[in-house]
Amino acid sequence: MHPSRVLITAAFVLAGVSNAMAASSVDLSVVGVITPSACTPTLSGDGVVDHGKISIQDFPEFGYKVLPKATLQLEVACDAPVLMAVKSTDNRPGTAIPTYPTQPQDLSRFGLGLTSAGKKIGWYELSTSNATADDNPVGLIESPTGNTWVNAPDRSTWQPGWMRTAHDSSSAPFPMTRFSAQVGVATTLTGKRDLPIAEEVYIDGSATLDVVYL
């Protein structure tokens, strides 16, 4: 994407003129590229991680309740080789319990919703591993903007709002027709003392994985 350009006009003080002359207009540009290629992402199990019913009596007296880790298979199929990445978005922003109590929110965790009293239920984290591009094993890179990329090792935390894609020998994205990766989902619930004991609490985590064309 080409950045918008703003024209800046320098003001010169002319001999014998007390006031500087300045332009009274500014240009705005709207740019972009319409690509003929299209990609379709899918997740195994319809993208649902169902932990079922969990008894409050199974929670520890202190600390958090760690649930079994789940793994989903992410597949992206494109109709032609294309530069693309997959971006994660938390649909329950601000509801994840942060690592430190003084933090208003945690940038690496996804939320699980709130209790009827407005208490945070817990959080979950995403990770990726065993990625392939066009059926070949690949390493992954990630970026929040698509401008600068860094390595994303297997099973490293995939932060909300960040993009991940395969990289070539120069650690840059490259065109591909098929992309796949295992997505790990690690869920943790808050302690027993922070949950209501007289009502059911619904775990309500939701995230969106979008294909972004680079």
Ordered by start, the domain boundaries in the chain are 39-213
Share of the chain above pLDDT 70, in %: 85
**Residue 36 confidence (pLDDT):** 64
- Cβ contacts of 146 within 8 Å, gap of 6 or more: 1, 85, 163, 212, 214
Q: Tell me the two tokens of residue 196.
A: 């209501």
> pLDDT tens digit string along 40-66?
999 999 999 999 999 988 888 788 999
Lowest mean pLDDT among 12-16, 142-146, 188-192, 200-204: 12-16
Question: Hey, what CATH topology would domain 39-213 get?
Answer: Immunoglobulin-like (2.60.40)
Average pLDDT of the chain?
A: 85
- Mean pLDDT of the 148-164 span: 96
